[in-house]
Amino acid sequence: MLDSRISRRAALMGAGAVVAWSASPARALLQAAGGGRVPAFVDDLIRRLTVEEKAGQLSLMASAWGGSSAASLNPPGNSDFPKQVEEARRGQLTGVFNGNGARMHRTLQTAAVRESRMKIPLIFGADIIHGHRTIFPVPLAEVASFEPELARRTAEAAAYEASGTGLDWNFAPMVDVARDQRWGRGVEGGGEDVLLNRLFAAARVRGFQGSNLKSDAHMLATAKHFAAYGAAEAGLDYNTVDISERTLREVYLPPFKAAFDAGALSTMASFNEISGVPSTGNPWLMNQLLRGEWGFDGFVVSDYTGDEEMIAHGFAKDARDATRLAFLAGVDMSMQSGFYRTHLPSLVQSGEVPQDRLDQSVRRVLAMKAMLGLFDDPFRRISERREESRSMNRRTLALSREAGRKSIVMLKNDGDLLPLPRSGKRIALIGPFAAGQHDLIGPWCVYGDDKKAVDLATGVREAVADRNSIVVAEGSGIVEALPGGIEQAVAAARTADIVVLAIGESQNMSGEAQSRTEIIVPEPQQQLAEAVAAVGKPTVVVLKNGRALALEGAVANAPAILVTWFLGTETGHSIADVLFGAYSPSARLPVSFPRESGQQPYYYAHKPTGRPNPEGKLEEYKARFRGLTNTALYPFGHGLTYGRIGYSDLALSARGMPMNGEISVSARVTNSGRRAAEEVVQFYVRDRTASVTRPVRELKAFRKVALAPGASQTVRFVLRPADLQFIGLQNRPTVEPGTFDVWIAPSAEADGLHATFELTA
């Protein structure tokens, strides 16, 4: 039921730019690959494989070709490439991941299809999280665009570059809802909101996979990490998840369902446990829910040594036990531990793993290789020529710049300090991110290169009339003070008319295993900000960040603040486009910026509690902290433009809605400013009373509207009872009559325009 809600909403309300729904893209893809059936030769092949060769088809290893930057992200364990080639010859490998380009892929594929006994092609996977060589904004940044179609386009462009080198399979998109900003991997996903996560998950899958998996310009997508990886206690990566089935179904699972409905045909089991059971060994999650209830047709891969880690979890006794548990729970393929190829043969011999089960997983993997066209031509994606010709071409770079500027959120712009004039002013660019080829592309880039990206100083110098009007001072290191740095920065600020202060997180402060206890601007940079603020020049803070930050002191008090995340190859150009007004900021926060780190996990769609914290003066014995209201400093959905946006004329088509009816809610949005703007009009709902308590607000739809100076537009949202569904007491989708609040508002915590209606039985 949840799926049809997305489609109906997309069609009727025009939420984002979601493409029209089609019943089952996964099925359509299967059909395109041979009538929706597993090709007959696959079963014939399975009959001829030894049990060792079958286990080999279920064993994936990191590429052993030295020098790949993947090696630093995930040490390969085996850096002996000739040995890996030999494994391919012996049929001990289904494929490798994070390898090193067309030449490496060709070498291994040749060994597999010319020299192995059964000549089964290898599959080549990789983490193409936000671009291959052309790097796009980190996924979280791109979600700030509130434009799923943009994500589809960048995913397609990333697949185009990556598949040119021989990559068939992407370990993306990450669709984990992240509500605790301490967690470092929030940067790879869709932020805190369920609807945004669903829309972006689907868009990215469509971009990576296209409409035909045999296309040499597309790749198989993996929805990861299944499931609830983002719900780790204390935001500590890999940590325990203890969660109700209701919250799982209502918050953490819907983005996966959206990805599968969009056609994703692989998924990755998450590292974490859920309520005592590691996902990698969870038959309820994979056999019952994923395959049984949802009818998932693809295959499941473990995360990197996820099966082995069940021993450390205290769930599996030893390697053999871990293999049995993971395999029987529904993990078809093991990544990196080598457990399956070592232990599956003896588990089948002893009868602990039924032969049929083994064949079933092998069939899923071989069917996927067939769908990817690998049996027709194992070299179809491997091309040294396309590897170069598709790399970093002009169109892709232009898309990176467009995606970059569409991802920048303007938090604040007191006195219309922004946009800055292009001439007549001296600008001091201060901070560790003002200049230099570092921290531009962001975390999780296996093939990207900071040295090929545009830094802020370059972008700014190109945008202004006189390059000499720009002075640069580093001022501070990222986590350490720079001797004499503050003095130099203060001197630069004194000579300038305007300061642009580029501060924040390095790219290795977010991403895998990069949880932080304090989500603040690192102390030496905060000191730099205080010293520069004391000079008294108008200051624009340009934040670099992979998560929401708790802004304080001179940073929070600066008259203008831009959130620029990690924007990728065209960073400097994208930021300059916004700074100097070539582009009016249009992005909105996909995560709430809290007042203090200690509020984590903080998300707008929280429950009210029995003692809600009222607006205004702090009251005793309410749900708030000592001395701090539990609201956001900048809430989810917040973001300003260069226009002057006003909301008026809220209208409901009726005050009541029957169970088989619908209601439309509209408002007028006006730009009374002198500059064109794009406003993200947001539609929130609250169910006042229900048999299960409901969040204080939930985003149900949004629309991005372009408004010329002086223009106004009526934006209409259509709501049906199915949109008011929640996971009820029996863990099933439920709709209950009652009173509902609706808001059309510029953010999750803005008053906006409000009304109520009744849903009648």
Mask: binding to ligand BGC, 208-247, rule CB under 6 A, as x and -?
----------------x-----------------------
Among 171, 183, 260, 447, binds ligand BGC (CB under 6 A): 171
687 in active site: no
What DSSP element (H or E) covers 170? strand 169-170
List the one residue out of 141, 162, 302, 286 whose CA is nearest residue 220: 162
CB of 365 to ligand BGC, least distance (A): 17
CB of 231 to ligand BGC, least distance (A): 15
- Interaction residues for ligand BGC, span 85-114 (CB under 6 A): 98
236 or 471, CB closer to ligand BGC? Answer: 236
336 or 413, CB closer to ligand BGC? Answer: 336
Residues 6+ apart with CB under 8 A from 393: none
List the one residue out of 98, 96, 88 whose CA is nearest residue 68: 98
127 or 180, CB closer to ligand BGC? Answer: 127
Strand extents, DSSP E, 279-319: 299-301
CB of 238 to ligand BGC, least distance (A): 9
- Interaction residues for ligand BGC, span 673-702 (CB under 6 A): none
What DSSP element (H or E) covers 743? strand 738-745
DSSP states along 191-239: -S-HHHHHHHHHHHHHHHH-S-TT-TT--B-EEEEETTGGG-GGG-TT-
Count interface residues toward ligand BGC (CB under 6 A).
Answer: 8
307 or 512, CB closer to ligand BGC? Answer: 512
- Interaction residues for ligand BGC, span 278-337 (CB under 6 A): 303-304
User: Residue 705 carries which side chain, given as an amino acid letter?
Assistant: V
CB of 195 to ligand BGC, least distance (A): 23
Question: Nearest residue by C-beta to ligand BGC?
Answer: 171
Cα(690)–Cα(702) distance, integer angstroms: 25
Would the CA dihedral through 239, 602, 13, 693 be positive or negative? positive
Among 63, 68, 74, 100, binds ligand BGC (CB under 6 A): 74
DSSP states along 511-524: STT---SS-S--HH
* Residue in 303, 307, 332, 687 annotated catalytic: 303
Answer yes or no: are the C-beta atoms of 529 and 504 closer than 8 Å. no
In the beta sheet, which residues pair with residue 521? Answer: none
CB of 689 to ligand BGC, least distance (A): 41
Mask: binding to ligand BGC, 501-520, rule CB under 6 A, as x and -?
-----------x--------
98 or 506, CB closer to ligand BGC? Answer: 98
Question: From residue 139, how far is each of 203, 222, 326, 536 by CA, in Å?
Answer: 12, 15, 30, 36
- HEC letters along 622-668: CCCECCECCCEEECCCCCECCCCEEEEEEEECCCEEECCCCEEEEEE
233 or 523, CB closer to ligand BGC? Answer: 233
Answer yes or no: are the C-beta atoms of 81 and 66 closer than 8 Å. yes
List the one residue out of 419, 410, 441, 430 whose CA is nearest residue 506: 441
169 or 634, CB closer to ligand BGC? Answer: 169
CB of 280 to ligand BGC, least distance (A): 12
The answer to the question of residue 402 lying near ligand BGC (CB under 6 A) is no
CB of 265 to ligand BGC, least distance (A): 16
Count the alpha carbons within 13 Å of 636 in the hemisphere toward its beta carbon: 27
171 or 583, CB closer to ligand BGC? Answer: 171
138 or 489, CB closer to ligand BGC? Answer: 138
CB of 277 to ligand BGC, least distance (A): 19
State the burial class of residue 560 (Cβ atoms within 10 Å of its Cβ: 0-12, 13-18, 19+).
Answer: buried
| DSSP state at residue 541 | E
List the one residue out of 571, 556, 203 whose CA is nearest residue 414: 556
Among 53, 87, 127, 250, binds ligand BGC (CB under 6 A): 127
Measured in residues, the chain has a length of 761
CB of 187 to ligand BGC, least distance (A): 12
Chain positions contacting ligand BGC, by CB under 6 A: 74, 98, 127, 171, 224, 303-304, 512
The residues carrying an active-site annotation are 303
